[in-house]
Amino acid sequence: MRFSQGNKNKGAKHIKIKHLTNQTQEGYVTPLEIANLGKDLRAFLKNYEPYVEKNGANIYEWENEAEVRFRLVVNEVKGEADSNPAQLPKPFNEEIITFYSDRNLKNKMEFKNY
């Protein structure tokens, strides 16, 4: 799985624009939560399988000790010429589409994978 730069609609740039820049923004995540994403994902995978959407996207959802809920959406890279640049380990056939929390949402995030 890779954390690509993406554009304003998906990938790391989407996360930065939509969820990191303003603490009052719906879905706000802290820089530390982004840094801990790999650790949190590994902990999730020890106990759960991702929810798979109809389009094939994998959805990983968990709650931290502060009762903040998170959703990570990952999908296959399709049709990109540089989907696996030579300097990256192979295979990188998935990329992060979005990552957000339930902070500042009107209702608590409902998990799809439970």
Instruction: Give residue-wise pLDDT tens across range 23-71.
Output: 888 888 888 998 899 999 999 999 999 999 888 889 999 999 999 999 9
pLDDT attached to residue 2? 45
What does pTM read for this prediction? 0.72
Tokens (6 digits) for 92: 């990188």
Query: How high does pLDDT run on average in the chain?
Result: 77
Instruction: Give residue-wise pLDDT tens across range 4-13.
Output: 444 444 545 4
pLDDT attached to residue 3? 47
Q: What is the DSSP string of the chain?
A: -B----BTTBHHHHHIIIIIS-TTSTT---HHHHHTHHHHHHHHHHH---EE-TTS-EEEEEE-TT--EEEEEEEE--S-TTSS-TTSPSP--EEEEEEEESTT-SSPPPPS--
